[in-house]
Structure 1
Amino acid sequence: MFTWLIFLAVLLIVLRYRFPYFLKDVQYGVQMTLVGYRLSKYAQSKPYFTLLDRFLETVSKHPNKTFISFKNETFSYQETDRQSNRIARALREHAGVKEGETVALLLGNEPVFLWTWLGLTKLGCSAALLNHNLRSRSLLHCFSCCGAKVLLAAAEFRDAVEEVLPALREQEVTVFLLTETCDTVGMETFSDKIRLASDAPLPSDLRAGLTLSSPAVYIYTSGTTGLPKAAVVSHQRLWAMSSLQSTVGVCSDDVVYINLPLYHTAGFALGFTGAIERGASLALRSKFSASQFWEDCRKYNVTVMQYIGETMRYLCNTPKTPMDPVHNVRIAFGNGLRGDVWRAFLQRFGHVEIRELYAATEGNMSFINYTGKIGAVGRINPLHKRIFPFALIQYDLETDEPIRTSEGLCTEIPKGETGLLVSRITQKAPFAGYARDLKQTEKKKLHDVCEKGDVYFNSGDLLRIDQENFLYFQDRVGDTFRWKGENVATNEVSDIITMVSSITEANVYGVKVPGNEGRVGMAAVTLQRGEAFDSSGVFRHVCTYLPAYARPRFIRIQSSLKVTGTFKQMKVKLVEEGFSVDAVQDPLFFLDERKKCYSPLTRDVYNAILQGSVKL
């Protein structure tokens, strides 16, 4: 017996120093196996077992357990169930909504958002989650591409709806406003209808036709080109997303803090429906506030927080107080956390298990850094790659295409080098694509990658794997960059800028700014012959038609824009030069919110931006 104990002790020491991540690899493998077993069991159930059914299980077992805390109110699982019944009945009675249809939601972070999705699922319907920052053409496009015939909007977004109301009326769309009174022709009140509706349970046969491939929700992503696209998130995909909380260690006793937008995958699927999968509680905030973040955590006894890279940086930039480490947060999960911010966060706010992840709303695979190694977005193991085949392939940034061999196949790059992440589309890892957009769906597919006839999902992201099998995000290719936690489609911004009469062409791209996550928007533009740059007019235009995160912070005036042989705008050189007053000889302007115009970028202002005294 003593010999065996010595052997085990030696084995543990060897594993610790020779294979430091072995035990965590095993633990993660067990967790993923359990998740896979549960999902396969749900997929085979008749009728199909949805996240709504999981919610109703918790309602039955723990009806009085707090599900949502919002401001100074709390709502139990049972109260949430009853509110969703009222909304479902009101939609069915007053809009005739039935199984298989889609309702578009223009709502902020509030309990009614969550109640409405549950109510729609009870009717066998899907929800299209509209970004409430969008306006005019972009908003109308997002609504139209989901195929909805009903729009439910919060009262605070009434002006945005009225702007596109004539077009919605032409499409015979029923528009409901969450208010008791409304005198706008073409818009109906809905709060009164909810109040008068019964909260009795709805029969399950209303959703009898739901399958694992039925759309559960449409979440909008900028993708790589053009206007936002509606990523189809099936019930199967939503289950996979929601299971993330399980793999990072969240349990039913936890309180998950959601302050990220519910129209995003992070807030909705990883946060809200993830908590449903766990049977946990939610602390919901209407909008992220760095100054109130830890007060909320203490107030609601938050144990699990979500983040994007910017979230953590904002928290680290708040004034230090003796209360910084006083909280019960034990797990933080999200993406985009820079290594230096990661270290600063742990040093200041105490021991929190940080679980960085890599995923895409429309993607068919994800990675989790379950070890906590600073800087990595995931860890690779043979089992993972066997079940969900992927590759990092050689990519030419100049041609914006994968590099292929003489046989027409792609080449996988060795460890330590940067390559384009692609993942094989299979029955276990499907790619549902974008609603009513076959062209963009096909553009995300790569054929003949490792062998003739295979099909892979093109992530559009460049990553690197080190010698220890850790995965690191390097950059985003194509026409999208990320700023303030939002994806910005350069073609959409370019279309908006060229609406200005004095501007003929615009090439939009993202540039790095020291001390900031992601890339800030910059536009190289050409002017109509004989026209001067209208600094005030362009400022008013971008502020009217673009959300704050998509507005170009810098504008570069050029005599002509360079293009490739296939007439694609060339960005590489522009990105390299950025907004440097030394590298750029063209006139440069920056978005000056104080003066309400685009002001000339002088060396003093340039230095102030680099030093962080001028905020972007």
Structure 2
Amino acid sequence: MVNISERLQADILWRAHVKMMVWVTWMFTTFAAGLFAILVFQRMTYPLFWEDLIYYLNLRKVGKALKSRMQRGVITYLDSFLYQAKKMPDKAFIVFEGQTLTYQDVDKRSNQFAKVFRTKGGLKKGDIVALLMSNEPDFICVWFGLSKLGCEVAFLNFNIKSKSLLYCFESCGAKSLVVGADLVSSLGEVLPSLKENAIEVWVTDIGCPHEGVNTLLDKVEQASDMALPDCPRADLMSNFLFIFTSGTTGLPKAARVGHLKAVMCMAFLRLCGARSDDNIYITLPLYHMTASLLGIGGCIQLGATCILKKKFSASQFWKDCVKHNVTVFQYVGELCRYLVNQPVVPEERAHKVRVAAGSGLRADVWREFARRFGKINVREAYGLTEASIGFVNYTNEIGPIGRAGYFNKLNMPFEFLSCDPQTYEPIRTDSGRCVKANKGETGLLVAPVSVMNPFLGYAGNTLQSEKKLLRDVFKEGDVYFNTGDLMLQDHRDFVYFRDRIGDTFRWKGENVATTEVSEILGSLEFLQEVNVYGVTVPGYEGRAGMAAIVLKMDQKLDGKKLYNHLVQSLPAYSWPWFLRIQTSIDVTETFKQQKRKLVQEGFSPEAVQESLYFLDLSQRDYVPLTQSLHDDIVSGKIRL
């Protein structure tokens, strides 16, 4: 009886176990099926959910690290440098033309500059000092030395002419100027005016041919490199720098850059995938925010090494990358186009570069860059000197500047507004409120002004400062920063830069985005560079399309092929009616294409010495633009 009972119990237990296993299997299968269904649904409706979430969590992680540092007293850009100089004094910070300066070297040399400026120049907290220097280690040492005194530094573009230089002084209110030894020759024309305005001038040399100019290096060598005992503390919300806009459409504007903005910029390279063991190649001018705040600041935040170049050289680029074991580099504007237009060299595949971070990379160049130079993670981004709004394309999608999904707006709020196609002013409802642009529709990028996104305005230009602000946008009393940039958010939440107000023009009742047309034309194999703009034609409203083009070496203009390409790729109102053949495209030091002079010269053979062509629809070809043909167009005999 005992054996039968034991068998019965065992059977009952076995049956219960089997039922349990069936139930568990059913639950697991149901859960797996549900999870699979959710994942399928997610991939169909929100395919980049995980990429967006991971990037958002990385932002949160960077923010927590920043908060932790601030609690330990590491608050400003300068504090971050001093923290790294103390933490890793012997780590290479700047490598420049065979010279290597550690974090401690730069700290000590900046102390020397600070002491000279204080004892010999009488500089103190709140003084504004202009800096006119090329890329070199002393640019950074002078900058940090002045910052240690609490001075606000104004970075000057060393390419600007005398009129613009004097205007920059007037607008930012600088009373001192530091000039690099290699730029002293540019002082001759403006020195009398500087003296009249009581501007004290210093040169980073032991001597100077100009009378009344103070020398620095002879005094710096005699100064102590010990830390200043009484460095003034900076308010995080106060002004740190003045960085001037490129002035492609007029005189430069002095944008105020606060300490908070500078600190936020320092996280850029980390978010692009850079690490502390990277060698980061900076060829862009240090007077530009990309190089100074994102680049040098990014190196400091990571504790990485900067390979600093005096000036960008397309022919030396990959050789430098191999020589210095470069792993990350910055680009902007047309820099990458110059690289893809260079002859093939062995180093372009022998390098160890894994990240290229920057902005202004057109899709056609991007594809060629990716095909030719190996596996490099391109991190295309968008940012502004004046405000903290920005995007980073952390995906492998070619073309967008970033994402605009749910997680992205949690970090930094922004909106795209519908705007008038002629004035580009935001469209407002009867109640006076702005209207959000729909997905797939080009809109004006704006961002609410807040503690985390302050707008400190342009120095000495209240009118221009106010023009950048939109008020009562969605509710009474709110204030938004107007970027002046036209963007498109597609149905996958990718954001594409369309154009900058002023570059976009209107023709045949339609808006023409110059960047889009340039991209389409740039895909033709015989074209090396393209710069699209609009020109006025008598008797027509708006502006007709015109393109300044550079032909590839040993290539000729194929007008018929260009016409067929336009028919297949662009609506008729976007076609350039006129072509101007150039040997090179004029760009700023940050590789932004210059359009102003081209627009002014128009399509007149008398004003333009280079070859001009006109789109003859009857021949489906671009034909030489003669003076008689020009006169027929202007008189209306030939209609566009």
1:518, 1:117 → 2: CA distance?
A: 37
The equivalent of 2:607 in structure 1 is 589
The equivalent of 2:134 in structure 1 is 108
Alpha carbons of structure 1 residues 224 and 160: separation in structure 2 relative to 1, 3 Å: closer
Alpha carbons of structure 1 residues 121 and 133: separation in structure 2 relative to 1, 3 Å: same
Q: What secondary structure is seen at the aligned counterpart in 2 of 1:69?
A: strand
2:418, 2:165 → 1: CA distance?
A: 37
- Give the residue type in structure 2 aligned to 1:193: K
Q: What secondary structure is seen at the aligned counterpart in 1 of 2:120?
A: helix
Q: What secondary structure is seen at the aligned counterpart in 2 of 1:395?
A: coil
Residues 12-411 of structure 1: pairs in structure 2 closer than 5 A: 14=40, 19-41=46-68, 45=71, 49-203=75-229, 205-208=230-233, 210-222=234-246, 226-411=250-435
- Give the residue type in structure 2 aligned to 1:154: G
Q: Is the 8 A contact 2:498 2:515 kept in 1?
A: no
Alpha carbons of structure 1 residues 600 and 346: separation in structure 2 relative to 1, 3 Å: closer
- Give the residue type in structure 1 aligned to 2:330: Q
The equivalent of 1:574 in structure 2 is none
Gaps of 5+ in 1: 482-508, 527-545, 558-577, 580-585, 591-597, 610-616
Alpha carbons of structure 1 residues 607 and 191: separation in structure 2 relative to 1, 3 Å: farther
- Give the residue type in structure 1 aligned to 2:607: F
Q: What secondary structure is seen at the aligned counterpart in 2 of 1:196?
A: coil
Query: Displacement of 1:41 after TM fit?
Result: 4.6
Q: Is the 8 A contact 1:259 1:286 kept in 2?
A: yes
Q: Is the 8 A contact 2:248 2:595 kept in 1?
A: no
Residues 488-499 of structure 1: pairs in structure 2 closer than 5 A: none
Query: Displacement of 1:372 after TM fit?
Result: 2.5
Q: What secondary structure is seen at the aligned counterpart in 2 of 1:355?
A: strand
Alpha carbons of structure 1 residues 189 and 324: separation in structure 2 relative to 1, 3 Å: same
Alpha carbons of structure 1 residues 460 and 517: separation in structure 2 relative to 1, 3 Å: farther
Query: Displacement of 1:520 after TM fit?
Result: 6.1
1:20, 1:144 → 2: CA distance?
A: 52
- Give the residue type in structure 2 aligned to 1:31: N
Query: Displacement of 1:310 after TM fit?
Result: 0.7
Alpha carbons of structure 1 residues 419 and 18: separation in structure 2 relative to 1, 3 Å: closer
Q: Is the 8 A contact 1:589 1:600 kept in 2?
A: no
Residues 415-454 of structure 1: pairs in structure 2 closer than 5 A: 415-454=439-478
Query: Displacement of 1:383 after TM fit?
Result: 3.5
Q: Is the 8 A contact 1:104 1:151 kept in 2?
A: yes
Query: Displacement of 1:278 after TM fit?
Result: 1.1
Alpha carbons of structure 1 residues 387 and 399: separation in structure 2 relative to 1, 3 Å: same
- Give the residue type in structure 1 aligned to 2:146: L
Query: Displacement of 1:408 after TM fit?
Result: 1.3
Query: Displacement of 1:293 after TM fit?
Result: 0.5
Query: Displacement of 1:381 after TM fit?
Result: 2.4
2:260, 2:211 → 1: CA distance?
A: 40
Query: Displacement of 1:189 after TM fit?
Result: 1.5
- Give the residue type in structure 2 aligned to 1:160: S
Query: Displacement of 1:363 after TM fit?
Result: 2.1
The equivalent of 1:498 in structure 2 is none
Alpha carbons of structure 1 residues 518 and 99: separation in structure 2 relative to 1, 3 Å: farther
Q: Is the 8 A contact 2:314 2:338 kept in 1?
A: yes
Query: Displacement of 1:309 after TM fit?
Result: 3.5
Question: Aligned pair 1:471/2:495, yes or no?
Answer: yes
Q: Which of the two has higher C-alpha Rg?
A: 2
Query: Displacement of 1:96 after TM fit?
Result: 0.9
- Give the residue type in structure 1 aligned to 2:354: R
> Deviations 1:492-539 (Å, cap 9, x if unpaired)?
xxxxxxxxxxxxxxxxx999664377846788799xxxxxxxxxxxxx
Residues 486-525 of structure 1: pairs in structure 2 closer than 5 A: 514-515=521-522, 519=531
> Deviations 1:395-429 (Å, cap 9, x if unpaired)?
12322422211111111111000011111111222
1:174, 1:480 → 2: CA distance?
A: 42
Alpha carbons of structure 1 residues 141 and 252: separation in structure 2 relative to 1, 3 Å: same
Gaps of 5+ in 2: 1-23, 506-513, 523-527, 539-587, 616-621, 626-640
Q: What secondary structure is seen at the aligned counterpart in 1 of 2:486?
A: strand
Please tell me the root mean square deviation across aligned C-alpha atoms, in Å. Answer: 3.2
> Deviations 1:3-52 (Å, cap 9, x if unpaired)?
49967994896356664322211210111112222344556x48662222
Q: What secondary structure is seen at the aligned counterpart in 2 of 1:436?
A: coil
The equivalent of 2:618 in structure 1 is none
Alpha carbons of structure 1 residues 385 and 511: separation in structure 2 relative to 1, 3 Å: closer
How many residues end up aligned between the 2 structures? 527
For normalisation by structure 1, the TM-score amounts to: 0.79
- Give the residue type in structure 1 aligned to 2:400: A
Query: Displacement of 1:145 after TM fit?
Result: 1.6
> Deviations 1:170-189 (Å, cap 9, x if unpaired)?
12111011221123122121
2:341, 2:503 → 1: CA distance?
A: 30
- Give the residue type in structure 2 aligned to 1:57: Y
Alpha carbons of structure 1 residues 356 and 154: separation in structure 2 relative to 1, 3 Å: same
1:349, 1:201 → 2: CA distance?
A: 45
2:315, 2:78 → 1: CA distance?
A: 35
Query: Displacement of 1:223 after TM fit?
Result: 7.0
1:517, 1:269 → 2: CA distance?
A: 29
Identity rate of aligned residues, in percent?
43
Query: Displacement of 1:54 after TM fit?
Result: 1.7
Alpha carbons of structure 1 residues 78 and 221: separation in structure 2 relative to 1, 3 Å: same
Q: What secondary structure is seen at the aligned counterpart in 1 of 2:459?
A: coil
- Give the residue type in structure 2 aligned to 1:378: G
The equivalent of 2:486 in structure 1 is 462
1:413, 1:119 → 2: CA distance?
A: 47
Alpha carbons of structure 1 residues 253 and 46: separation in structure 2 relative to 1, 3 Å: closer
2:493, 2:316 → 1: CA distance?
A: 38
Q: Is the 8 A contact 2:613 2:624 kept in 1?
A: no
